[in-house]
């Protein structure tokens, strides 16, 4: 899926440079970002050729082994307690009639490209988040809004977004949710509130209120560990984070940089700029799933294959490296691999090599 993301970034970069557009708008009152997120994407794609399963609980995973991981699940499965990332054994306990579907990589690539192409017809100012989500700069609508009342402008903008969402569904057969706001954070929050298959716009003056209603886990970067750390010091909601009077304790708990970012996010402030063309600093190939080498020759064939893929990838991007880093996963002695065909607990070893280029 990482390769699909890179291909989409190349597609956007080509159109952006061809259009000779100015850079994206900076977050604030004169900026309007939209976040488009496909709903339970992998499952939707798999169901395109299995329409008879639409009303049944479905999930996409590498296998139905108890130790495989749910990658995506539809809302029927979610209503039974199944979530992304749960082990299949647990998922089957929660939902015994769960239908396991395979990854449809080629179709995912095709549909993702189609979605991006639809948005490119509107604006080349697009940041690819992954194969199933993107951000775009629709600030042009703010200029048009100067000739309308606020209510007329909101109706006009939401009607446009509705047509965009409808076009995506018509051309791909997959639904999406769209959120809009005046920075990247609030557009993403709006999308979460729009799920599934909805549209939400959050005006600047409503940012704090919308956040206050939510738990801290809605903020970017707040996973299970950070959520637990915040809970331990009595912070469970964005409102509690925003009005926190124990900033020193917060800083000691999560570190000064994270504390500062969290407080800004809790206030609806996000200075990050939409990134259309990101600077390419490295090209990599990594495969850590399903690797099983039984002898030296298997290892050599595997490494040659990876090197060939890496060389092709670098050539396609017209770049030349000055350093090569070989990363190896070494199994921790006595550890057990739980996930089917996974690598289990490992020590990660890094071996850097520098190239000497002749002039």
CA 340 to chain centre: 24
End-to-end CA distance of the chain: 38
Neighbours of 94 (CB within 10 A): 14
Q: What are phi and psi of 333, to 5 degrees?
A: -55, 130
Q: What are phi and psi of 126, to 5 degrees?
A: -130, 135
Contact 11, 155 (CB under 8 A): no
Q: What are phi and psi of 40, to 5 degrees?
A: 30, 60
The SS3 of residue 124 is: coil
Cα R_g (the chain), whole angstroms: 23
Question: How far is Cα 171 from Cα 173, in angstroms, rounded to an integer?
Answer: 6
Pairing of β 126-130 and β 133-137: antiparallel
Neighbours of 218 (CB within 10 A): 18
Where are any strands of DSSP class E within 117-241? 126-130, 133-137, 176-181, 199-201
Choosing from 127, 133, 240, 279, which is the catalytic residue?
133
Question: How far is Cα 256 from Cα 342, in angstroms, rounded to an integer?
Answer: 35
Angle between helices 2-19 and 105-120 in degrees, nearest 10: 20
Q: Is 213 a catalytic site residue?
A: no
Question: Which residues does the annotation mark as catalytic?
Answer: 133
């Amino acid at each position: 899926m990482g390769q699909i993301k890179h291909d989409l970034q190349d597609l956007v970069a080509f159109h952006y440079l061809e259009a000779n557009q100015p850079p994206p708008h900076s977050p604030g009152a004169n900026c309007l970002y939209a976040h488009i997120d496909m709903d339970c994407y992998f499952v939707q794609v798999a169901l395109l050729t299995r329409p008879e399963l639409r009303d049944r609980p479905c999930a996409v995973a590498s296998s139905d082994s108890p130790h495989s991981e749910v990658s995506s699940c539809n809302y029927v499965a979610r209503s039974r307690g199944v979530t992304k990332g749960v082990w299949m054994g647990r998922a089957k306990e929660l939902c015994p009639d769960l239908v396991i579907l395979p990854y449809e990589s080629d179709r995912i690539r095709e549909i993702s490209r189609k979605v991006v192409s639809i948005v490119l017809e509107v604006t080349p100012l697009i940041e690819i988040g992954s194969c199933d989500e993107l951000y775009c700069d629709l600030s042009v609508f703010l200029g048009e809004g100067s000739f309308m009342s606020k209510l007329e402008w909101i109706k006009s903008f939401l009607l446009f977004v509705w047509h965009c969402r409808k076009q995506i569904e018509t051309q791909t057969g997959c639904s999406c949710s769209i959120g809009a706001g005046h920075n990247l954070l609030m557009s993403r929050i709006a999308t979460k509130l729009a799920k599934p298959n909805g549209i939400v716009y959050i005006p600047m003056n409503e940012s704090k209120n919308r956040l206050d209603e939510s738990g801290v886990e809605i903020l970017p970067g707040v996973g299970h560990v950070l959520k637990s750390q915040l809970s331990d010091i009595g912070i469970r909601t964005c409102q509690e984070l925003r009005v926190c009077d124990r900033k020193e304790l917060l800083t000691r708990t999560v570190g000064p940089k994270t504390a500062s970012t969290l407080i800004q996010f809790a206030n609806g402030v996000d200075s990050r700029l939409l990134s259309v063309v990101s600077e390419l600093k490295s090209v990599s190939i990594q495969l850590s799933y399903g690797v099983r080498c039984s002898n030296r020759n298997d290892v050599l064939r595997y490494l040659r294959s990876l090197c060939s893929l890496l060389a092709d990838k670098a050539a396609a991007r017209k770049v030349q490296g000055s350093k090569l880093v070989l990363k190896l996963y070494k199994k921790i002695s006595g550890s057990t691999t739980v996930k089917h065909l996974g690598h289990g607990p490992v020590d990660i070893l890094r071996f850097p090599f520098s190239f000497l280029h002749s002039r």
